[in-house]
Amino acid sequence: MEPASDWLLSFSRPCGIPLRVLVRVYGFWVNAAISTSRLARTFGEQTAVDSVDLEVSAGEIYGFLGPNGAGKSTFVKMLCTLLRPSSGTAMVAGYDIATDATEVRLRIGVALQDAALDPKLTGRELLRLQGRIYGLSHRQATMRIESLSGLLEMAAIDNRVATYSGGMKRRLDLAAALIHSPQVVFLDEPTTGLDPESRAKVWDEIQRINAVDGVTVFLTTQYLDEAERLAHRVGIINAGRLVIEGTPDHLKREVGSEVINVRVRQGTEHAIAAVRDLPGVDDVQVMGDEIVVSVTAGSTTLAPVAVALDGCGADVVDLRLHAPTLDDVFFAATGGRFDEVGR
Amino acid sequence: MNTNNAPQTLARKVGFIGDTRTVATRALKLLPRDSVEYIPAFFAGVITFLITVGALSNVADFTTIAIDYQSFQLPVGVLFAVTGLSRAYALVMDIQGGYFDRLVVSPINRWSILLGLMVADVVLVALLSTLMVVLGLLLGVEFATGFAGMVVFVLLCSGWALAFAGVPYAIALRTESPGAVGGSWVLAFPFLLLSTTFVPRDAMEGWLSAVAAWNPATYLLAGLRSLYLGWDGEALLQATAAVVALAAITFPVALVALKSRTKS
């Protein structure tokens, strides 16, 4: 798909209309909660985010997936007005992050990668304080704390945050991000390091605020299962560039209806040549000793692939058929495995 | 996907005063929980006062001090206790713990983040200065200007401490280092020692006298000491000017550091 910024730019230049204005009109037209155009951020010589075009519709959960160091957090920090973009424009909740930062801040909730809490306050004090910062009355704050009780450990809410477990802190951090009922919520790796129970509670709350309250959620994660479970659409970022986006099902279908993973000790070239032209094989990619064979019908293609590999002289150590995962999508888009790129 | 209209946020702009009050309320709430950060400073002031009175009281015999030496030294004790005292350490903890970023992504007024902390500083310094004054009264210090003079004494000390607080805040915002903030009180030493701390101005000679003439602490001490004898408008005006002059240097430095940190 041609990025929106390309044709917005084609209007902007000859008509003399600033790109920022066109992005705003376009975002309003498509009911976008988040809309970026060629958004980029550099730190000295290093490009952390490289010309990203992205749109997130109002009411959507968008999963921003990428390995460590891919640029996810930098991108989020720009959208929530913590970092200024080096170039490009972005609209959040209908406002420009560069020129209308305060309006953006009124409409967003942010939970960054590390829980941003004051350990010397109690959970309730912290939430009330957060409510006051956003202009909530005492009564409104009380009601919001009550409505967020599913996320909080109410029995411990009057204890100091310093005594909370990591999971409780993360959930309190999320509650603080939601206290003012934001239109758009940015969650930067909200479940990293959480125990399964806390993780499930965070997932439930994300789904609840989206389904019940209509909150748009922009979620960065390095967990493929999290993106698959929560996100309506997923964007994959690698080395600062948005490499692919779509619904998880659509992305996986593009890889093929099924995937055969082959690990070979030697003879990789022979193996590729042997399976590439087999009937039912859509695509073959290789990285190191791993060959990923995308196939249309795994049950009928597996046997011919196995026979071909056996006959070509490759030393096969592992052969698996499975439905495509987002890791396969990442592999197809970048030529690397998610975990390996992160390392 | 939920295609209903976007939810109506409850958030609204609070305004500069409301934002400052919110930050100050938090800082004041935390004062009793952070007592370990300022009780040592208070005792440093008390000890300085008691030691100098005990060890140097005969200075009064060969100088032109018009008051007893414990009265002469009480402002010194107070300034040793409160100069450099601020919530800058708490600010560093907020920066390191991420809470500062939480404030920055909220619609809070940027200046309120600092000014709210300074409100708490003034309250704390006024409290500690009052305690020092009470200690002085117990040891026989007398104010010819009465209760009003004591209030002015506390206000001047608070103003001085607030003016100096710009230094640790600037260091906190620039370095994010608790060690650097903790060490910033050393910068108070030139002000406090190169002045009329132990002897009156006319007992000073050479370069020390010249430096003291340019040191705002000299005029502050003179103003504070004048309150023992009666209302001296000129001395009080000079003391106030010294506080304002110090603030005119430190506040912009702190505000520029804040602006640079919140505008990345």
Minimum Cα–Cα distance from A178: chain B residue: B9
Distance from C-alpha of A109 to C-alpha of A180, rounded to nearest angstrom: 8
Q: What is the pLDDT of residue A26?
A: 65
Q: What is the pLDDT of residue B36?
A: 87
Distance from C-alpha of A75 to C-alpha of B38, rounded to nearest angstrom: 40
Q: Which single residue is written with the structure tokens 């600092």?
A: B114
CB A132 within 8 A of CB A144: no
Q: What is the pLDDT of residue A42?
A: 95
* Burial (CB count within 10 angstroms: exposed 0-12, middle 13-18, buried 19+), residue A232: middle
Distance from C-alpha of A70 to C-alpha of A274, rounded to nearest angstrom: 35
Range of A282-286, A310-314, A337-341, B45-49 with top mean pLDDT: B45-49
Minimum Cα–Cα distance from A126: chain B residue: B26
Could B10 and A132 be called an inter-chain contact, meaning their C-beta atoms sit closer than 8 Å? no
Q: What is the pLDDT of residue B65?
A: 66
Could B34 and A120 be called an inter-chain contact, meaning their C-beta atoms sit closer than 8 Å? yes
Nearest to B22 among A61, A133, A214 (CB): A133
Q: Which two tokens stand for residue A66?
A: 């990428």
Q: How far is CA A66 from CA A49, A340, B41, B98, B118, in A?
A: 12, 11, 49, 23, 42
Q: What is the pLDDT of residue A1?
A: 41
Q: Which two tokens stand for residue B166?
A: 């710009």
Nearest to A59 among B4, B18, B29 (CB): B4
Q: Specify the long-range contacts of residues B206-215, CB closer than 8 Å, at least 24 apart.
A: B215/B190, B215/B191
pTM: 0.83
Q: Which residues of A touch B263 (CB under 8 A)?
A: 84
Which range (A28-32, A37-41, A188-192, B173-177) has the least confidence? A28-32
Give the minimum alpha-carbon distance from A12 to chain B in angstroms, rounded to a whole number.
Answer: 28
Amino acid at B154: V
Give the minimum alpha-carbon distance from B93 to chain A in angstroms, rounded to a whole number.
Answer: 9
**A42 three-state secondary structure:** strand
Q: What is the pLDDT of residue B209?
A: 85
Nearest to B9 among A33, A61, A182 (CB): A182
Q: Which two tokens stand for residue B208?
A: 């020390």
CB B169 within 8 A of CB B27: no
Give the minimum alpha-carbon distance from A117 to chain B in angstroms, rounded to a whole number.
Answer: 5
CB count within 10 Å of CB A228 equals 18
CB count within 10 Å of CB A96 equals 18
Q: Which single residue is written with the structure tokens 């500690």?
A: B128
Distance from C-alpha of A180 to C-alpha of A247, rounded to nearest angstrom: 29
Eight-class DSSP state of B3: -
Give the minimum alpha-carbon distance from B65 to chain A in angstroms, rounded to a whole number.
Answer: 47
CB A287 within 8 A of CB A336: yes
Nearest to B107 among A105, A120, A121 (CB): A105
Q: What is the pLDDT of residue B41?
A: 87
Q: How far is CA B189 from CA A332, B46, B52, B257, in A?
A: 65, 16, 16, 23
CB B216 within 8 A of CB B191: yes
Could A80 and B11 be called an inter-chain contact, meaning their C-beta atoms sit closer than 8 Å? no
Q: How far is CA A124 from CA A84, A176, A178, A267, in A?
A: 32, 10, 14, 63
Could B14 and A82 be called an inter-chain contact, meaning their C-beta atoms sit closer than 8 Å? no
Q: Are strands A241-246 and A216-221 parallel, antiparallel or unpaired?
A: unpaired
Could B6 and A216 be called an inter-chain contact, meaning their C-beta atoms sit closer than 8 Å? yes
Give chain A's mean pLDDT: 87
Angle at B15 between CA B11 and CA B19, to 5 degrees: 85
Q: Which residues of A touch B116 (CB under 8 A)?
A: none
Q: Which residues of B touch A102 (CB under 8 A)?
A: 13, 107
Minimum Cα–Cα distance from A230: chain B residue: B1
CB A248 within 8 A of CB A221: no
What pLDDT digit, counting tens, does each position of A234-254 carry?
999 999 999 999 998 888 887
Q: Who has greater pLDDT, A303 or B220? A: B220
The set of residues, in sequence order, having a beta carbon less than 8 Å from that of B40 and lying 6+ positions away, is none
Could B9 and A118 be called an inter-chain contact, meaning their C-beta atoms sit closer than 8 Å? no
Helix B146-175 to helix B233-262 angle (10° resolution) is: 20
Q: Which residues of B touch A112 (CB under 8 A)?
A: 98, 101-102
Q: How confident is the prediction along chain B (264 residues), in pLDDT tens digits per residue?
A: 655 566 788 999 999 999 999 999 999 999 999 888 889 889 988 998 888 887 776 766 666 666 788 888 899 999 999 998 999 999 999 999 999 999 999 999 999 999 999 999 999 999 999 999 999 999 989 999 999 999 999 999 999 999 999 999 999 999 999 999 988 888 888 888 888 887 777 777 788 888 888 999 999 999 999 999 999 999 999 999 999 999 999 999 999 999 999 876
Which range (A79-93, A216-230, A285-299, B117-131) has the least confidence? A285-299
Interface of B with A (CB under 8 A): 1-14, 18-19, 22, 25-26, 29-30, 33-34, 94, 97-99, 101-108, 263-264
